């Protein structure tokens, strides 16, 4: 594990310990890439959080004071118009468990969908790294896609274009 990832873990664990209130984070951004075996330096934390209301706001203030950029909320599936495949939380894997901090990452196939929602070039690079590392097949992607409840929204059409572009990249 990279030093900057260890630093984030130690700092968050220490913060939660001083508050006496545990924090659970489901990482989805660049930090998650380290746990998928494809480390990529990042300066922010993108995650879904489970914690008490009071510590949530104190935690965000702590991160601001520490100069850490973040996008942390209690529902990552709501970050875009198109939601993540249903039951993504149940498929998430615990990658770190301390006394006051638990870190999880999405199942690799769900991670692909989380990155595809935004679909930047960096996201596509992350997606292809995870697809190769975990031997994710087109069939696995089609199967998981069936778990998405697509809204009647033009964003669904844009998502479909990104999905088919990914399939083309996979060969």
Residues 165 and 129 both lie in one domain: yes
Residues 132 and 166 both lie in one domain: yes
Residues 92 and 141 both lie in one domain: no
Residues 72 and 8 both lie in one domain: yes
Burial class, 76, CB count within 10 angstroms (exposed 0-12 / middle 13-18 / buried 19+): buried
pTM of the model: 0.93
Residues 121 and 99 both lie in one domain: no
Domain end point (choices 88, 107, 126):
107
Q: What per-residue confidence (pLDDT) applies to 43?
A: 77
**Given pLDDT bands bounded at 50, 70 and 90, which one contains residue 3?**
confident
Domain end point (choices 58, 73, 107):
107
Residues 141 and 88 both lie in one domain: no
Residues 76 and 155 both lie in one domain: no
Domains: count for the chain: 2
Residues 101 and 20 both lie in one domain: yes
Residues 85 and 11 both lie in one domain: yes
Tell me the average pLDDT across 58-69. Answer: 95
CB 128 within 8 A of CB 143: no
- The domain of 122 spans 110-170
Q: What would the pLDDT profile of 8-50 be if each residue is shown by its tens digit?
A: 899 999 999 999 999 999 999 889 999 999 888 777 899 999 9
Domain end point (choices 107, 135, 153):
107
Residues 89 and 126 both lie in one domain: no
């Amino acid at each position: 594990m990279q030093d900057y990832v260890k630093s984030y873990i130690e700092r968050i664990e220490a913060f939660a310990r001083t508050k006496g209130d545990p924090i659970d984070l489901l990482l989805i951004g660049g930090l998650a890439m380290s746990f998928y075996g494809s480390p990529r330096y990042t300066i922010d934390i993108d995650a879904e959080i489970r914690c008490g209301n009071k510590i949530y706001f104190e935690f965000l203030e702590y991160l601001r004071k520490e100069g850490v950029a973040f996008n942390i909320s209690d529902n990552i599936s709501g970050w875009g118009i198109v939601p993540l495949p249903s039951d993504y939380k149940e498929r998430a894997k615990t990658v770190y468990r301390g006394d006051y901090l638990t870190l999880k990452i999405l199942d690799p196939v769900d991670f692909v969908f989380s990155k595809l929602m935004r679909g930047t070039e960096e996201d596509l690079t992350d997606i292809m790294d995870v697809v190769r590392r975990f031997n994710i097949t087109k069939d696995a992607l089609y199967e998981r896609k069936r778990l998405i409840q697509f809204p009647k929204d033009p964003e669904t059409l844009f998502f479909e274009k990104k999905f088919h572009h990914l399939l083309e990249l996979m060969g």
